[in-house]
Chains A and B, each alone.
Chain A
Amino acid sequence: MTHTVIEKIIQNHTQQDVFPGKIIWMTLDVRTARDFGGPNVVKNFQREYGDQPVEANKKTFFTFDLSVPACSLKYADNQQICREFAGKKGIKVYDVDEGIGSHVLIEQGHAVSGSTVVGTDSHLNILGAVGSFGQGMGDVDITFAFKTGKTWFEVPETVKVVLKGEIENSVSAKDLTLFILRHLRTRKAALKAVEFYGEPAKNLSLAGRITLCSMVTEMAGIIGFVPEVNDGFIKEVRGLSGITYEPLLADKDASYAEEIEINVSGLTPQVAAPFQPTNVKDVSELQDVSIDSGFIGSCTNGRTEDLRAAASVLKGRKVKQGVMLKIVPATRKVYSEILEQGILKDLFESGVVLSNPGCGGCAEGHIGLTGEGETQISTGNRNFAGKQGKGQNYLASPEVVAASCILGRIASPEDL
C-alpha cells in the first residue's frame, strides 16, 4: 500500500492499516500542555486518575508561552498549578523564560521528522515544518494523552499543492502563505493534510516553513508538510537542535484527494483584512488604511529571520510618532541571536517596544491588545473579532508591518 507523508507517519505509530477515513489508535512520541489548557489538563488528570503516574514523564512537557511572566493573578495561579503537578510527576517545565512551546520543541529536538506530538496549542501543526505530525487538541484529549501516551485519530486525506513560477526575493514566506490562503480559503484543504511542492516551497528556510505550516490551521487543514528540502534548511535544523533531519517523502504513487496548482509568479506583498484570515488582498488595495499600532512576532513570524527582515526595513528609520510597534521574539534562542547579530539594536533605535520571548499579541492578556477603534497590523495568524482586543487587525509579513509602522498606514517597503 502506498502512503502520503501523514499516512506514513501514522502507519509507523499504529498496528492498524492506515488509509484515509480510517479511525486508528496512534502512539504519541511527545505530549505537551501550555499555561493555556494546562491547568485544565491537571484538573482533569487529578479528577480522573488521581495519583497515578503519567505514561512517559520524560516525553511529557509543560511549555508556558502565553502570559509570560504571568500578568494576571489567574495566570500566575494556573502556571503554579502546572509547576506543582509537574514536580510531582517528574515532568520538565519550559517555564516563562523560554518562549513559544512549539518552537521550543523544534529547538530542543523533541519534535523531529516522522514523530507524533500533541499539545494544547491549535498551531502545534507548525511542527509539520520539520516533518513532525504535531496536532493541537483540547484539554480532555491531552489529559488522555498524558495518561496513556495514545490518541485516536481519523486518518485524513491529503491534498497536493504545487506552487508554480518564481518569486522575487522581496516577497516573503508570509506573502506566499497569505496568497495560498487566498486560493485555498477554508475549503480546499479543509480537514485534510497538505503537501506543498514546487521550487518556492522547496526553497523555504526553517522560518519560512514554520510560517507556511502554521497557517494551515487557518486553511482549516490538519497539517502541512514541505517534503522537498534544501541544504540550508537541513543545516539550520542541525544547528538548532543538533539533530540530522531525516527525509520524509510521500510514496511516488501515493493517492491524493486533489492536486492544486497555484501560480505564484509576480506575487506582491499580501495582507489579510479583518475579520477572517482568508480575507486576503494585495497590499496596494489597502494603502488608504491608517494604523495605530503594529505587532511583529507570534508562532507564525517570530524567528530571527523574521526579526532580521523587520530590522532591514526599520534600520536608520523611525516608527512614526504616535504609532506603537510591539516586537516579541519567539524564543529565548531567537532573543540571543538578535542580541548577538545586532538586530536588537537596530530595532530598538527605530523606536519599537521590545518584549521578552513568548506568544505576544495573539492572546488576550499579554502584550499587544488593541482598544476599541484601534487599527493594528500584525504578523500573527488570526484576525477574528475580539481575538486581540476590540480593535481591527490586519495580518501581514514582518517587512510590511515595519513599513506600515514607519508611514502610519498600510504600506510595503517599496513605498519608503
Chain B
Amino acid sequence: MNKGKVWKYGDNVNTDVIFPGKYTYTPMEPEEMASHALEDLDPDFASRIKPGDIIVAGRNFGCGSSREQAASCLKYAGVQAVVARSFARIFFRNAINQGLPVVISEQAPGKLTQGDEAGIDLDNNEIITQKERIRFDPLPDFIKEILDAGGLIPYTKQKIANGKREKSN
C-alpha cells in the first residue's frame, strides 16, 4: 500500500477553487490540468504534491459546479485518494467515474494534520497512519468495482466484454 503526505483543508472546498472556471473552456492535457489543481485554495499544492499524497478535508468537499476537471485534475496531480467528512454528490460521482478513490470518514479529518504520512487500504477499509488505523465504512461493492476498473467507462466495457466471453463459452 502506498503511503503519502496529507494535505489538509476545511469544509466546503468548492469546484471553483479546485479547478478555476477560466480553465474549463479549453481542452487540456493531463499535466496541464494537474498544474492548476487547487490553484485558488493552495497555490503551493500543484508544485509540491507527490504521487500518492492524500487530500483530507471536512464537509461537502467538491460543492459547486458539475465540472469533471475538479476530479480529474486531482487524479492527474497524483492524488491517491480524497478523504472527507462528506462529499458533494456530483464531485463524488465524477471522482468514482474517473477512478479516483473517495473515502468518507467522520474521524480522520480530526486525527490527521497537514504533512502527516498516511496510507489508505481500500480492501480493509482503513486509513493507516504511523500512530493508528482509522476504520471507515466500506464503499459499496459496485463503486469498488468501478474504481478497480479505473472508472465508469472502462468498467462497463469490461462488463460487456465479460458478458460476451460468458456467452461464447
Residues from chain A with Cβ under 8 Å of B68 in the complex: 37, 40, 138-140
Contacts A48-B153, A276-B12 given; does A140 touch B97 at CB 8 Å: yes
A33-74 toward B: CB 8 Å interface, digit per residue (1/0)? Answer: 000110110011000100000000000000000000000101
Residue in chain A with minimal CB distance to B22:
A364
Number of chain B residues whose Cβ lies closer than 8 Å to a Cβ of chain A = 38
Please indicate which of the listed interface residues B20, B24, B60, B88 has the most CB atoms of chain A within 10 Å of its own CB: B24
A143 touches which one: B17, B67, B153 (CB < 8 A)? Answer: B153
Give the contacting residue for B143; candidates A23, A78, A276; CB below 8 A: A23
Interface centre among B25, B94, B142, B143 (most CB of A within 10 A): B25
Contacts of B88 in A (CB 8 A): 220
Complex interface: chain B residues within 8 A of A137 (CB): 66, 90, 93-94
By a CB distance below 8 angstroms, the chain A residues around B17 are 384-386
| A141 lies within 8 A of chain B by Cβ | yes
Q: Does B140 contact A (CB under 8 A)?
A: yes
- The stretch from A101-109, A184-192, A201-209, A293-301 touching chain B is A184-192
In the bound complex, residues from chain B placing their C-beta under 8 Å from that of A143 are: 153
Shortest C-beta distance, B98 to chain A (Å), equals 7
Instruction: Please measure, in the bound complex, the distance between the C-alpha atom of A137 and the C-alpha atom of B98, giving whole angstroms.
Output: 13
Residue of A nearest to B27 (CB): A43
- CB pair B21 A190 closer than 8 Å: no
**Is the CB–CB distance between A122 and B40 below 8 Å?**
no
Residues of A within 8 Å of B56, CB to CB, are none
CB proximity to B under 8 Å, residues A284-311: none
Cβ of B80 under 8 Å from chain A: no
| A364 & B21 in contact (Cβ 8 Å cutoff) | yes
Query: Which of these, A43, A138, A382, contacts B93 with CB under 8 Å?
Result: A138
The reply to whether A363 and B143 contact each other, CB–CB distance below 8 Å, is no
A-chain residues with CB within 8 Å of residue B90 when the two chains form the complex: 122, 136-138
Q: Are A122 and B21 closer than 8 Å at their CB atoms?
A: no
CB-based contact B156/A121 at 8 Å: no
Known: A138-B66, A138-B97. A23 touches B60 (CB 8 A): no
B148 within 8 A of A: no
